[in-house]
């Protein structure tokens, strides 16, 4: 009961809303259900030790990967909304429980009792035609008819000359087991509903703050108190921090744990204050928006922490579907193998799926972070500075005019990006004037600095040209754009 106590304590101490606590996994009730399942199986004579011995009988000692036809199968009938767990005992209809199985006397006696009690619920499964034909050839014309009988019953033997080794499936309904898994799916459904509500609320907040940031960070042409540059820097640091997902290729952009996300969010908050970005706002409303932005991230983190503690609770009950798990609590006490069967049964309904962080991050990126263009998206691939004036080649790749001029003077024919024969054919019509206007509006400081650098470089080239002409020499190569 140590985890049950700590689980309740965490739920009480964390700042989770009351409806969240009500939707948390009912760990104690699930444990009580497991005990009831264990008791029901014992009443059938199927202790965990007996069931494990039956599983071992299905293994091939020479080839562990090979499996014989299972004596017992643990199945779920129906749908996730309406299902019934059951055990299916498969026996040889002619000989009952196979004698070649190395079963203890207690196990064999338990199985024979089940056969006697459930004999009215048998289904005869016949062999296919190939096996029947083989059976006929083996028997021969003088062979006596094979008898099918059921141990412990008073049913007469029946002659089946063409059917050899028919098998019987005896279904054993598990009522306590059904109660456990219905409670389990109900708990998962509650968590899923809670996650969906939280996702909807957070997305709504993101959209609201996105519209507000669009106003305060509008370019100076429409907003005299524009906070374009502070918000751009805030969002750039936010992306670099990788709060909910790693931004490293070597980590495959994997989702953060709640603990790691909290650590990265703290780093982001600290970095904002270290750079003094909150003091660079011209519009007083921006400070309020920054607090709301931080609150949104805290909301996502709170949901992640709630999911994490409930996932631990589910792991304690079901070891959470990990293939490397040893014995789950349910299987350890019952040996039914629910770890393999139940997750497969519910997988199509994605009960255990958690997409909150991914969904919120997508909304955050598409509806908020992308509202303010970042400089990295508009850099010339040659000089790595802003592409002013931008020249768009016929292959659609964009370069700043100075780098294009240098490529043409060097008689370079092919685009450095895609190797298309597009460089020497570019002229003044390739200048992207709409992109130039966009860059000057959203990156006024960078565009102005790049223009000054271009003018300085042109002036230097002109001075060198004049000096060269004064002291002799051939004329310089012309350029199609300049």
pLDDT at 460: 81
When comparing pLDDT for 181 and 388, which is higher?
388
pLDDT at 103: 63
When comparing pLDDT for 326 and 241, which is higher?
241
When comparing pLDDT for 428 and 115, which is higher?
428
Q: Span 114-139, mean pLDDT?
A: 48
Q: Which residues of 29-42 are buried (b: 16+ CB within 10 A; e: fewer)?
A: ebbebbeebbebbe
pLDDT at 78: 65
Q: Distance between CA 451 and CA 386 in Å, rounded?
A: 10
When comparing pLDDT for 60 and 222, which is higher?
222
When comparing pLDDT for 385 and 184, which is higher?
385
pLDDT at 265: 95
- Give me the chain's average pLDDT, please: 75
Q: Span 245-263, mean pLDDT?
A: 81
pLDDT at 434: 95
341 has a pLDDT exceeding 60 = no
Closest CA to 294 of 256, 268, 255: 268
pLDDT at 314: 77
pLDDT at 349: 39
Q: Span 423-442, mean pLDDT?
A: 94
465 has a pLDDT exceeding 90 = no
- Residue 101 exposed, middle or buried by CB count within 10 Å (0-12, 13-18, 19+): middle
Domain boundaries, the chain: 2-174, 178-375, 377-470
Give the model's confidence band at 224: pLDDT under 50 very low, under 70 low, under 90 confident, else very high: confident
CB 389 within 8 Å of CB 401: yes
Percent of the chain with pLDDT over 90: 32
227 has a pLDDT exceeding 50 = yes
Using alpha carbons, list the distances in angstroms from residue 246 to 265, 349, 365.
12, 28, 15
32 has a pLDDT exceeding 50 = yes
142 has a pLDDT exceeding 60 = no
Q: Are strands 83-92 and 147-148 parallel, antiparallel or unpaired?
A: unpaired
396 has a pLDDT exceeding 90 = yes
pLDDT at 177: 76
Q: Span 75-100, mean pLDDT?
A: 65
Using alpha carbons, list the distances in angstroms from residue 345 to 86, 250, 342.
13, 34, 5
251 has a pLDDT exceeding 70 = no
pLDDT at 46: 74
Reported as a single tens digit per residue, the pLDDT across 199-212 is 899 999 999 999 99
Reported as a single tens digit per residue, the pLDDT across 304-328 is 888 888 888 877 776 533 222 223 4
pLDDT at 154: 39
Tokens at 267, concatenated: 């780093």
pLDDT at 345: 47
Q: Does the model's pTM come out above 0.95? A: no
CB 8 within 8 Å of CB 26: no
Angle (CA) 425-427-431 rounded to 5° is: 125
In sequence order, the 6+-apart residues with CB closer than 8 A to the CB of 439 are 378, 386, 387, 388, 390, 446, 447
339 has a pLDDT exceeding 90 = no
Give the domain 377-470 fold. Answer: Herpes Virus-1 (3.30.40)
Flag the least confident range among 177-186, 301-310, 375-384. 177-186
Percent of the chain with pLDDT over 70: 67
Q: Span 8-25, mean pLDDT?
A: 84
335 has a pLDDT exceeding 80 = no
pLDDT at 162: 41
Q: Distance between CA 239 and CA 374 in Å, rounded?
A: 11
Q: Distance between CA 301 and CA 261 in Å, rounded?
A: 7
Give the model's confidence band at 375: pLDDT under 50 very low, under 70 low, under 90 confident, else very high: very high
């Amino acid at each position: 009961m140590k985890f049950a106590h700590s689980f309740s304590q965490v739920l009480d101490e964390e700042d989770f809303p009351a409806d969240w606590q009500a939707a948390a996994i009912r760990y104690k009730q699930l444990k009580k259900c497991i005990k009831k399942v264990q008791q029901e199986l014992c009443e059938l004579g199927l202790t965990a030790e007996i069931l494990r011995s039956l599983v071992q009988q299905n293994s091939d000692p020479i080839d562990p990967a090979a499996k014989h036809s299972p004596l017992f199968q643990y199945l779920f009938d129906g749908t996730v909304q309406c299902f019934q767990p059951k055990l299916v005992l498969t026996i040889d209809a002619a000989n009952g429980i196979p004698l070649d199985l190395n079963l203890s006397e207690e196990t064999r006696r338990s199985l024979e009792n089940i056969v006697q009690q459930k004999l009215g619920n048998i289904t005869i499964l016949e062999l296919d035609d190939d096996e029947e034909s083989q059976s006929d050839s083996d028997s021969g014309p003088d062979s006596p008819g094979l008898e099918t009988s059921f141990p412990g019953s008073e049913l007469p033997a029946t002659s089946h000359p063409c059917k050899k080794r028919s098998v019987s499936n005896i279904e054993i309904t598990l009522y306590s087991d059904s109660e456990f898994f219905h409670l389990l799916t109900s708990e998962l459904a509650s968590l899923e509903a809670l996650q969906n509500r939280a996702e909807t609320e957070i997305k709504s907040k993101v959209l609201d703050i996105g519209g507000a940031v669009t106003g305060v960070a509008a370019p100076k042409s429409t907003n005299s108190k524009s906070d374009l540059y502070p918000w751009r820097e805030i969002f750039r640091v936010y992306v670099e921090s990788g709060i909910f997902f790693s931004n490293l290729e070597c980590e495959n952009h994997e989702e953060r744990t709640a603990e790691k996300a909290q650590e990265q969010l703290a780093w982001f908050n600290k970095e904002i204050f270290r750079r003094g970005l909150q003091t660079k706002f011209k519009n007083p409303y921006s400070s309020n928006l920054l607090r709301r932005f931080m609150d949104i991230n805290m909301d996502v983190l709170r949901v992640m922490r709630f999911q994490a503690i409930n996932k631990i609770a589910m792991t304690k009950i079901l070891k959470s579907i990990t293939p490397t798990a040893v014995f789950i609590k349910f299987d350890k006490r019952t040996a039914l193998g629910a770890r393999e069967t139940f997750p497969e049964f519910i997988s199509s309904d994605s009960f255990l799926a958690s997409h909150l962080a991914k969904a919120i991050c997508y909304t955050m990126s598409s509806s908020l972070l992308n509202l303010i263009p970042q400089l990295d998206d508009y850099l010339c691939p040659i000089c790595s500075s802003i592409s002013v004036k931008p020249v768009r080649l016929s292959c659609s790749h964009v370069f700043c005019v100075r780098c294009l001029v240098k490529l043409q003077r060097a008689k370079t024919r092919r685009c450095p990006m895609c190797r298309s024969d597009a460089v020497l054919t570019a002229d003044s019509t390739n200048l992207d004037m709409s992109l130039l206007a966009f860059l000057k509006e959203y990156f006024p400081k960078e565009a102005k600095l790049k223009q000054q650098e271009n003018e300085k470089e042109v002036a230097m080239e002109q001075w060198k040209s004049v000096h060269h002409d004064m002291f002799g020499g051939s004329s310089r190569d012309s350029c199609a754009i300049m």
